[in-house]
Chains A and B, each alone.
Chain A
C-alpha cells in the first residue's frame, strides 16, 4: 500500500527541515536564477518601452519627405539638393489623407540675449508643427499663419535655449533676441520634450516662421525646403498616402516615367519597427544572460544534490529496509524537489521584483515585470530543480536495499 500523500508531505518537510543548509543552498541556486531572469527581462522590457515611447512621441503616423533621391540623402547634409519647395508642401497639405503637413527649413546659429550667447539649431516651419510634434507651450503662444504670411521676425524657444540664455525664473515672452544679427521677438516658450531616441536634445531649438527663415535668416533661394513632415489622418492609410504624395510630387516636378524620384519618403512606422527589432534584440540578449545565470544556478543545485547523494543513498536504503517501496521513496524525493523548487521560485520572484523596483528607482527606467518572464523562470527552474533532485534518487531507488545501505 503506497504511503498517503499527507504523510509523504510530512516526510519531505521533515527531510528539508533536517538539512537546512542543503535545502537553503539548493534553493539559492534557483532563487538567483529566477531573480536574474525576471530582472533582466524587466530591464530589457523597460528599455524597449522607453525607446518605443520616444518614437511614439515623435508621432507614429508620420511621413518624412526629404529632397533628393533615395540613397542620395546623407543625414546631416539634408537639403543640399534643392528639389522641394514650400509650394510642394502646400500641395501635399491639400491631399485628402493628410491631417497636417509642415515644411522644415533647417539652420543653426549663434543666438544672443543681452550679454548671453548660445549656439542652437533653428527650424523654420509652419504652425502645423505644433500638432505634428505634439509641442506644448510653457509660456506665450506659438506663431500663427499670419506670422508666416507676414514674414514676422518672431521666435519660439525650446527649454534648453531658454535655460542657457535667461536667468532662472525670467519670463522670456516679449524679450528680444538676436540671431545672425537679426532681431527676433520671443513670443513663446515650449515645454520640455526631453532627449530623442538618438540622444538628441529636442529642447535645444528655436522655431521661427518658415518664410522668415527662408527670406530673412538663411537667404534660401527659390523657396526650397529641407524636409516636409506629414501626419497621416489614419495610420492604416500610411501606404496609400505615401503613394499619393509620390505621384503628386512626381507630377509637380514633371518627372518622366523613366526618371527616378527626386525625393524620398520615410515612414516613421518603419523606423519604429526597426527600433522595435533592435530593442527586442536587447531583450533577447538580456534573457540570454539570465538564462546563463539560471543554468549556473542549476549547476549549483546539481552539485549540492550530487554531494549529498551518498548520505541520501544510505537514507534511501534505511527507508527501504523499514518498509518503503521504491515508489514511496521516489514520490518523497520528487515532492522534496518540487517543494524546494517552488519555494526557491517564490523567493526568486520576490527578489526579482524587488530588484526591478530598485533598478527603476535608481536608474529612472521603468522595469515592468512581465508574467511571461515569471512563468518562464519558474517553469525552467522547476524543471532543473526536479531533474537534479529526482535523478540521484531514481538511481538510488534502483539499487536493492542492501546495496543502498552499503553505498560509499
Chain B
C-alpha cells in the first residue's frame, strides 16, 4: 500500500480542564495506522484510549499535536466539514449501541445516508443491504428495544458500514455483551475487514477481544506503552 498512512498522529496531547485541575488524558501520542489494518487499542480505564479514539474519529479536538486522516490535517477543517468527514469516511460503533431506541432498525441504518444528502428508494435499498450483511434483514422493522444486545450491536455495525467508510471505529463494542455475542460481533468485524477491506480500529480492555485483530496497541497513562502484532490471531468461524 503506497501513500501516507490512513491515520497519522504526531505528538497528540489532550488536556481536560476539570474543576480547576488540568487532567492530561493524552501526553504526546505518535501513532500510524495503515489502510486495511485491523488494530486493537488496549488499556485500562483512564489510560486515554477512548480520548484517542474520539480524536481519531473527529468527535473531539486535540489540545496540541497534529492529526492527519487520509492525508488531510483535520484541525484545519470547519465544523460542517468535520460532520461530512464523519459521515463519509468514518463509521462508529459504541459500547451502548447508541441507536435511536424508538425508531426501526432500518431507519437507524438509513440515517447516515440521509445526512449524506441521499433520499428515496436508494436509501432503503442500501440500508437493507447493510442489514443483510450483518444477518438482520428480517429484523428491519423491529425497534432496538425489541432486540437483544448482540442484535442491536449488529444494527449499529450496519449503520457504521452503510456509507462505505474508510475506517470503522469501535469503542468497547463488546463491553455490554456476553461471550458468545462478543465473538459473533468480532466475527462480523473480521468479515467486514476481509470482505470490504475496511480499516478497523477497536478500543477494548479485554485481551480476548484484542486477539481478533492483527495488531495490538497498548496505552498507559496517556501514552503508547506497547505496539505489537497479534501472533496467535483468533478467527471467528461462523457455524462453529
Contact = CB atoms under 8 A, between A and B. Distances in A.
Interface of A: 1, 3-4, 6-7, 10-11, 14, 18-19, 314-315, 317-328, 400-403, 405
A322 B86 contact: yes
B3 interface: no
Contact of A325 (B83, B100, B112, B163): B83
Contact of B117 (A4, A317, A319, A322): A4
Given A320-B86, A400-B60, A400-B61, A1 B117 contact: yes
B115 A321 contact: no
A396 to B, nearest CB: 14
Nearest to B58: A401
A325 B87 CA distance: 10
A323 to B, nearest CB: 2
A321 B59 contact: yes
Given A324-B115, A326-B80, 15 more contacts: A1-B117, A3-B114, A6-B119, A19-B102, A315-B100, A321-B86, A321-B98, A322-B92, A322-B111, A322-B112, A322-B159, A402-B57, A402-B59, A402-B60, A405-B98
Contacts of A328: 83, 115
B171 to A, nearest CB: 9
A319 B86 CA distance: 10
B214 interface: no
B83 A324 contact: yes
Interface of B: 54, 57, 59-61, 79-80, 83-84, 86-88, 92, 94, 98-103, 107, 111-112, 114-117, 119, 159, 163
Interface of A is mostly: helix
A323 B84 contact: yes
B118 to A, nearest CB: 9
Contacts of A320: 59, 83, 86
A310 to B, nearest CB: 13
Contacts of B119: 4, 6-7
Contacts of B101: 18
Contacts of B92: 321-322
Contact of B112 (A19, A323, A402): A323
B164 to A, nearest CB: 13
A322 B157 CA distance: 12
B136 to A, nearest CB: 18
Contacts of B87: 322-324
A186 to B, nearest CB: 80
17 contacts: A1-B84, A3-B114, A3-B117, A7-B119, A14-B103, A18-B101, A19-B102, A321-B57, A321-B86, A322-B92, A323-B88, A324-B87, A324-B115, A400-B61, A401-B54, A401-B86, A402-B60
Contacts, number: 79
Contacts of B163: 323
A233 B167 CA distance: 92
Contacts of A1: 84, 117
The 9 closest A-B pairs by CB, nearest first: A323-B87, A18-B102, A325-B83, A323-B115, A401-B59, A402-B54, A402-B60, A402-B59, A322-B112
Contacts of A400: 59-61
A11 to B, nearest CB: 7
A1 B60 CA distance: 21
B86 A323 contact: yes
B83 A14 contact: no
A401 B59 CA distance: 5
B157 to A, nearest CB: 13
A405 B98 CA distance: 8
A401 B88 CA distance: 16
Contacts of B83: 320, 323-326, 328
A312 B83 CA distance: 18
Contacts of B54: 401-402
Contacts of A322: 86-87, 92, 111-112, 115, 159
Interface centre among B87, B103, B107, B115, by most chain A C-beta atoms within 10 angstroms, is B115
Given A6-B119, A14-B103, A18-B103, A325 B84 contact: yes
A103 B102 CA distance: 81
Nearest to B162: A322
Interface centre among A325, A328, A403, by most chain B C-beta atoms within 10 angstroms, is A325
A10 B107 CA distance: 11
Contacts of B57: 321, 402
B107 A14 contact: yes
A326 B84 CA distance: 11
A306 to B, nearest CB: 20
A318 B83 CA distance: 12
